[in-house]
Structure 1
């Protein structure tokens, strides 16, 4: 089950993760992704509209009909729960709904990890903003977001009762469940790991440099790996402690965490899937392992891959940036794009004629870049260089 193009499931040498001689693949995907397939890539396709929440418009047994399967595989956050439900519905092995909820449902995961001694923000589930009044009175600063949200969509940082009342009048953007939680003052990080039975066998720690609340025109969201030092050691240990609370899990994990103003780690959320943006490219560079492939192997009954530590010793640091369009209108093309041997990835999702609307979620970028460098400072400088060299042609409407 996938909502990215099937060509993403390839090794660096271009060979497919699922070789047709070994796997008989039924692809459940959006019609537009199915249309991009080349003959022989998969055995059969089931087109389906996938809602942004991951919900499907038909029942899962009806979706697969009389087909028989050995495994069900999903690697994107929105499809983890539908895949778990499908496994249970057709009686195949793999992670079921109970465990998947702990890696997807922000309320369930906080309850689980808090019960195992992990520090989490104080939180509560709400059905309307006004229910967070007491939490806001207590902390003066809270975050409200969908329980099953992804890509930082519909996240609200509330800084006072006037803002809460305004959000109450506005209402939530969707009927999804919501949660409110204490705002953690400090720095935010993501820790990406290949995990074997709750033990990280390869991990990278990166610091976010930009807010996830809004995605302004001509803005960006960036992160860079941490240089050696106390913060890196604290967060690697925190990652080991968090993953140790799910000893049944193997695959790829994406942990979001904070260091508060006193340098203490605080849990934000944990995804049982590869991180987005440029994380796949930077992790492959640093560790010689694909997080996407590491996510797939346990879902087909195999062990996670072993890291080969392939990063160049003279440029071990990495970082990425999601760059948002400079203006609204109709995308025409790029007048200039950067080129450099330290540029690990430059993805440009828009095609000529596509409308450019105001970004509403993290992935609404006109370009995604990943770079390497000697240290975090050089990485940040190179990300700035990449952004300055991207010249977009947009026709106003």
Structure 2
């Protein structure tokens, strides 16, 4: 009999069959899927890859989600818990700790999710420069902040995809913001605003050792998402800055104590050439970064996390070397007021487009954008070198808006 695993999921089921490739290892494990229904999860594409055990839960009912997971674990011989979405990682760790199962435990997962606990651990390990920060549990805490140092950021401690994030320049502005927030339950923090370009470092860890790391530079601030805007990233494969970022990443992951899994770290590179820690997640990168990593290095980092959680072997393709000498990245377009014309498929080769990912249901249905990865159209791009890649990305933007 195959071993069994609980898969706590928040993605549409079709997410695991991108481009016709199905990445759930159903031939090796018996998967019990607990997933969100309706827009943010559900079982779209389920008929093509059916499972024997599926439970659907309400989108925002955490208690329901938890109760179904506990019932599943109590009534089936499950030995592993799988999670790849940020909203599922903490619950998965809670279930492992409660039922004595292997994998990332709850205390470790909290350090990768709670932005205050996270920065406290990074600072204690002297792993990276951390912006000044403090918990924001009541409006009175604002009086303890040094407002002479400039702009501050108020954000959810457990937030994701750059949601629940507010920029404030004065104490008065901050008071107006927190007047509309529920500060009970230690859900918010305030930290110094850092001006700089944002980079990310994505890793695979096995037995406490980093097996793979990839560095990328965002084309825009993740918090700047807006209707009709763009986002993207360009992977960087060499250079002194890449070396410095991977070394910082190694120190941070050691300080937070991850043993097995994938991670997604973000940091600032300032005009003074300083690297400043932003945050790190104990799960694969989101959005279109996984297809870009697969294009550059030949393996699916989401599939890798699934296999690590399931306790089965995984392959890292051509890692640590890029599988070609070129450069890879993506450009994505947020939904806007008008229906996009898109780019004709016959133009893809000349623009270096190797994959087009379309989400017709992007947006909030009222002309707005829900979060930083709420893309309408995304294009994975390859080029012989970074200079050519940036030129192709600019050409793609021009063609898309023509």
Please, what TM-score do these two structures have when normalized by structure 2?
0.85
Higher helix share: 2
Q: CA deviation at 1:238?
A: 1.2
| Preserved contact between residue 217 and residue 327 of structure 1 (Cα < 8 Å) | yes
1:358 Cα deviation from its structure 2 partner: 0.9
Match of 1:38, SS state, is helix
Q: Does 1:350 align with 2:360?
A: yes
State whether structure 2 residue 351 is matched by structure 1 residue 313.
no
Aligned residue among 353, 366, 370 for 1:360: 370
Aligned counterparts, 1:378-397, within 5 A: 378-390=388-400
Contact in 1 for aligned 2:334/2:374 (Cα 8 Å): yes
For residue 220 of structure 2, give the secondary structure of its aligned residue in structure 1. Answer: coil
SS of 1:179's equivalent in the other structure is strand
Check conservation: 2:138, 2:183, Cα contact below 8 A.
no
Find the counterpart in structure 2 of residue 14 from structure 1: 21
Match of residue 48 from structure 1: 57
Contact 2:142 2:175 in 1 (8 A): no
1:27 aligns with one of 33, 58, 63: 33
Structure 2 gaps, min length 5: 1-7
Instruction: Give the conservation status (yes or no) of the 8 Å contact 2:155–2:189.
Output: yes
In 2, the alpha carbon distance for the partners of 1:30 and 1:375 equals 41
Instruction: After TM superposition, give the deviation of residue 175 of structure 1 in Å.
Output: 7.5
Q: Relative to structure 1, is the Cα distance of residues 39 and 336 closer, same or farther in structure 2, using a 3 angstrom cutoff?
A: closer
Which whole-Å CA distance do the structure 2 matches of 1:128 and 1:352 have between them? Answer: 35
Output the CA distance in 1 between the equivalents of 2:10 and 2:55. Answer: 12
For residues 280-334 of structure 1, what are the alpha-carbon distances to aligned partners after superposition, in whole Å with 9 as ceiling and x for unaligned?
A: 011111221211122122212235533414745342x222233112317xx6x75
Q: Deviations 1:115-169 (Å, cap 9, x if unpaired)?
A: 1112211111103466234435142111111011001011112223343233234
Per the alignment, in what secondary structure is the counterpart of residue 390 of structure 1?
Answer: helix
CA contact 2:133–2:192 (8 Å) conserved in 1: yes
**2:84–2:306 Cα contact (<8 Å) kept:** yes
Aligned residues: 386
Cα shift readout 1:192-249 (whole Å, capped 9, x = no counterpart)? 1122233322221111232233322221122212363322221122112222324542
Task: Give the structure-1-normalised TM-score.
Answer: 0.86
Q: State the SS of the aligned residue for 1:273.
A: coil
Q: Which moved more, 1:84-93 or 1:73-82?
A: 84-93
Query: In the TM superposition, what is the alpha-carbon distance from 1:47 to its structure 2 partner?
Result: 0.9
1:40 Cα deviation (Å)? Answer: 5.8
Gaps of 5+ in 1: 393-397
Q: Which residue of 2 aligns with 1:99?
A: 108
Residues 202 and 287, structure 1, Cα contact 8 Å, conserved in 2 = no
SS at match of 2:79: coil
